[in-house]
Chain A
């Protein structure tokens, strides 16, 4: 996948996780929803790892592997694609 395609896929999967997370906040005993969230979370972690190995860290403060300059110099989200 290109960088743009991979980021789009991460956005889609992360959106599912956001939705399920908010739903579970008010339905903590819904085991089907929790199972879905865990499945999508695993997929999200895989996609993020694939992205980061190719294009640099997505998260700061020790949550992503970094190389010199990779956090500071990669594009910020408000910059045009």
Chain B
């Protein structure tokens, strides 16, 4: 089970809100390479990992992703909660407001709702870890694209932290791939089984 800790992994306090960034941040709240995707992907794939080290890595990285999802939600909330309707519309969030008001909803910046089809769990550890490596790189790229859109330190500090976490998680998953090579020296990651 999980125990909630009533704190953020990294401090956030947005007093200089920028609705353009709230819209961009939706990519990481409900988009294909979002923190929500990452958490669901790893916490689902962990069940069929063939080694204690892989199970531990997916369990613990997946848990950290949920804390990152909370950070993204906090940044979006603190940006949108005091915004005027005209500013919301000017930032291209009029459609979002119509459906969700100033509430949080897992959708991407274009309003496409989150779906489980963003993740895969094949039961094949090599395929799954390769997906995880790609996911961390895609999320890193998304963070860089968001950071390119602002010079405000209130957004940049947590975004730098989150971008660095993608790099560390990629490193851990690279080690997982090396462990799989140890376990399956002939590359037979999944013996054919009827």
Within 8 A of A (CB), among B44-70: 52-53, 56-57, 60-61, 64, 70
Query: What B residues does A14 contact at CB under 8 A?
Result: 9
Q: Does A69 count as interface, using CB distance less than 8 angstroms?
A: no
Q: Knowing A25-B56, A26-B179, A28-B52 touch, does A19 contact B70 (C-beta < 8 A)? A: no
The B interface, classified by DSSP as helix, strand, loop or mixed, is helix
Does A59 contact B78, Cβ atoms closer than 8 Å? no
Query: Measured between alpha carbons, how far is A46 from B135 in the docked complex, in Å?
Result: 36
Query: What B residues does A21 contact at CB under 8 A?
Result: 60
Of the candidates B4, B53, B64, the one whose C-beta lies within 8 Å of that of A26 is B53
Does B6 contact A59, Cβ atoms closer than 8 Å? yes
Of the candidates A26, A59, A80, the one whose C-beta lies within 8 Å of that of B13 is A80
Contact with A along B63-89 (1 / 0, CB 8 A): 010000010011001100000000000
Does B6 contact A74, Cβ atoms closer than 8 Å? yes
Q: Knowing A15-B9, A59-B6 touch, does A80 contact B52 (C-beta < 8 A)? A: no
Say which size band chain B's interface belongs to. 20 to 34
Closest Cβ of chain A: how far from B132's Cβ, in Å?
A: 13
Does B52 contact A11, Cβ atoms closer than 8 Å? no
Query: Measured between alpha carbons, how far is A80 from B79 in the docked complex, in Å?
Result: 11
Within 8 A of B (CB), among A25-39: 25-28
Of the candidates A23, A26, A61, the one whose C-beta lies within 8 Å of that of B3 is A61
User: Which A-B residue pairs are the 10 nearest by beta carbons?
Assistant: A25-B56, A26-B175, A78-B74, A25-B57, A77-B8, A81-B13, A59-B5, A58-B6, A60-B4, A26-B53
Which residues of B come within 8 Å of A, CB atoms? 3-11, 13-15, 52-53, 56-57, 60-61, 64, 70, 73-74, 77-78, 168-169, 172, 175-176, 179
Which residues of A come within 8 Å of B, CB atoms? 7-8, 10-11, 14-15, 18-19, 21-23, 25-28, 57-61, 63, 71, 74, 76-78, 80-81
